[in-house]
Structure 1
Amino acid sequence: MDILIFIVSMTALIYGADFIIHQSEKIAFHYNISPFVIGATLVAVGTSLPEMAVSISASLKGSADIAVANVIGSTIFNIALVLGAVFLLAKKIMPDRDLFAKDSAWALFPILVFILMSIDGKLSLVDGILFLFLMCGFLLFLISSNQVEELDDELKKEPFGWGKSALFLALGFILTIGGADFAINSASSIAREFGISEWLIGLFLVAFGTSLPELTISVKAALNNQADLAIGNIIGSNVANFTMVLGVASIVNPLNVDLTGNFFDIAAAFILSLMLVFITANKMYNKSAGIALMVVFGLVIQNSFM
């Protein structure tokens, strides 16, 4: 039964991703908003809702390891697996936006702040509030750096109406978030039968499930030549995961963080964030960069299970 639920959940995620991408493009064109900004705000926040739901629930239940590992794992999945898959599957990626000059810092700020906050072994109420302030700073930055890019001619011909777009966006988010939720539950129930630790459940199964919306949306966006939307979704999701997800979860209930015991995984998330900055600096939007990201992902799996 769990396998069937997982397959149905994946199908819902794929269809939901289609709705979100198409309507996001229409909104971007209608209001002269950069597809990157749409990807880093509307789509990123929407696809981060599964992480928020899981981390808040884990925080309330006193399962800090799941709450924190979910965010660390999602960062690893978003950059190594999602961005790696985007580079490997897309025929050509040519972002219109200068991602290194404008956005690469936001790939590092959240995890650096997280490490600094976690040195004392916990994320407190004050830390959570500061995380939310950081998210406000990110949103202000996006608004001030909006750069309009031209969308395809077919999209221009489609009539725009907020009612229809809102309906399809809502349906898309319901399918992606709902699909991720069922995927998490089915995968977690299988994992618990084998006695896997909460950190590993959060780092892999839960993080993979909550990263499925980012994976499906970013890969489909890249295949549709919407590289800015794909990469913007990943950067925005990582910012939202640290600032909104951990911020709200630590406000609900302070979270204990074991930097020493989970050093490898946290270091991997940090190194991948550095690699993202390096990729944007050198415009390495190609298959070789995708392979390099997948290699780090393989090392994470090896360290955890072998």
Structure 2
Amino acid sequence: MDFIIFIAAMSALIFGADFIIRESERIALHFNISHFVIGATLVAFGTSLPEMAASMMAAGQGKSDMAVANVVGSVIFNITLVLGAVFLISKKMLPKRNLFAQDSAWVIIPLVLFFIMVQDGVIGRVDGLLYLLLMVSYLVFLFTDSKEDLGGEIDEDLIKDKFNWGKTVLLLTIGFALTIGGANFVIDSGTNIARVFGVSEWIIGIFLISLGTSLPELVVSIVAVKKGNAEMSIGNIIGSNVANFSMVLGAASLVNPLTVDLLATKFDMLIMIAASIALVFILANRLYNKAGAIFLLIILALFIQNSLV
């Protein structure tokens, strides 16, 4: 029964995120927000809502391992699985934006702050507030740095639709309800599954839950690159990872301080570092192709192999 609940809850998370993403795009189109900002903020935050809801629920229930593991695993899956799949299926990606010069710092800064904060074994409420301030600085950076217009990244059906605040607010409310409600059931069923198989909450959080909550990023990024929107797909992942560290961990640590055992989780932490460095290397060398995909998928294979043994 727990497996059925888990699958149903994951479906609610994904459908809820989809409502939020689509209505966020509708708002962005209405107010003429630039297309890279859509990918790195509205879409990125929308696809990060499952992670945020799941980690906050886990923190509220005193399950620090699951809350932190969800973020660590999501960062790994976002870079290796999502971007790996995007680079693998894309025929040609030529982003106009200089992603290395303009955005690579935002891959590294949240990661560095994470390891500074966890040296004492706890991500406390002050750390959480600092992370939320980082999120604000990222938003300021994006809205002052990006001068591009919307281009062709918005669904054509949205362009044809007349903007309706009532409909948009209703669908956003449904999306948030599905996301938060789904997250609650994901945590409960995930914990029960872990107990049945004798698996630790860390493994459930870093593999099962983080993989499930990364599915929105995967779907949105693949759809974006299929439409020729390379900036949106890569911006989605960079923005999602910034949100995972700052917004997700920040909000979760405000609910309840999070304990982190670096020694017990060192392999997963090293994989997260390796994936982040690999992404910066790909941005620097513009390896938006099958070579970059293979590079990332090798890291993913090492992560999965260790998680399943």
State TM-score, norm by structure 1: 0.87
For the Cα contact (< 8 Å) 2:30–2:163, is it kept in 1? Answer: yes
User: Which residue pairs with 1:219 in the alignment?
Assistant: 222
1:1-306 residue pairs with structure 2 within 5 A? Answer: 1=1, 23-146=23-146, 147-151=148-152, 158-170=161-173, 189-306=192-309
Structure 2: how far apart are the matches of 1:174 and 1:220?
24
Deviations 1:239-280 (A, max 9, x none): 111111111222222221111221111111111111111111
Unmatched segments (≥5 aa) in structure 1: none
Deviations 1:40-89 (A, max 9, x none): 21222222222222222222222211111111011001111111111122
Structure 1: how far apart are the matches of 2:276 and 2:264?
20
SS in 2 for 1:193: helix
Structure 2: how far apart are the matches of 1:124 and 1:261?
20
For the Cα contact (< 8 Å) 1:14–1:216, is it kept in 2? Answer: no
CA 1:289 to 1:128, structure 2 compared with 1: closer, same or farther past 3 Å?
A: same
For the Cα contact (< 8 Å) 2:25–2:42, is it kept in 1? Answer: no
Structure 1: how far apart are the matches of 2:106 and 2:50?
21
SS in 2 for 1:300: helix
Structure 1: how far apart are the matches of 2:28 and 2:259?
40
For the Cα contact (< 8 Å) 2:53–2:183, is it kept in 1? Answer: no
For the Cα contact (< 8 Å) 1:86–1:222, is it kept in 2? Answer: yes
For the Cα contact (< 8 Å) 2:59–2:67, is it kept in 1? Answer: yes
For the Cα contact (< 8 Å) 1:77–1:207, is it kept in 2? Answer: yes
State TM-score, norm by structure 2: 0.86
Structure 2: how far apart are the matches of 1:88 and 1:269?
21
For the Cα contact (< 8 Å) 2:87–2:292, is it kept in 1? Answer: yes
